[in-house]
Amino acid sequence: MALPPRNYLIPFILFFTLMGSYIGQNNATELLILVGLGVCATVLRFADYPLAPLLIGFILGSMLEDNFARSMQLYDGIRFIIDRPMTLGLLVIAVLLVLVPSYRGRRARARMEGTADGD
């Protein structure tokens, strides 16, 4: 079974998603949110972001936010980071896990720009 060409399929998908979004709440703000998320998804796709970490972040983000707010209330601010060395250590490790791959990628790109095609 052959799929219809994309130039016919995309307008129908766009129409039905916009209608479904509007009918769900009868609110035009839902349309703006849908279009905004679509633009963000397109930018992320062109930037070659993998889908799995984004979904994990989307699912676990609310739990992280709730627990962070709870700890800020218990310790009256972000003092809990300094009071608990394990928290500070885990935070440093998390920052390193985010920054080190970026640094390695930049270093590899710089190294590739310095070599000729025949090398």
**pLDDT tens figures, 80-119:** 787 888 988 998 999 999 899 889 988 888 888 876 655 5
Residue 16 burial class via C-beta count within 10 angstroms: exposed 0-12, middle 13-18, buried 19 and up: exposed
Which two structure tokens, joined as six digits, stand for 104? 């390695």
Which two structure tokens, joined as six digits, stand for 78? 């972000």
- Prediction pTM value: 0.48
* pLDDT single digits (tens) 32-88: 988 998 898 889 889 888 888 888 888 998 998 999 889 888 888 887 787 888 988
| Nearest-10 crossing angle of helices 6-25, 28-46 | 140
Per the listing, tokens 């003092």 go with 79
What pLDDT is stored for residue 95 in this prediction? Answer: 93
Closest CA to 28 of 13, 18, 38, 37: 18
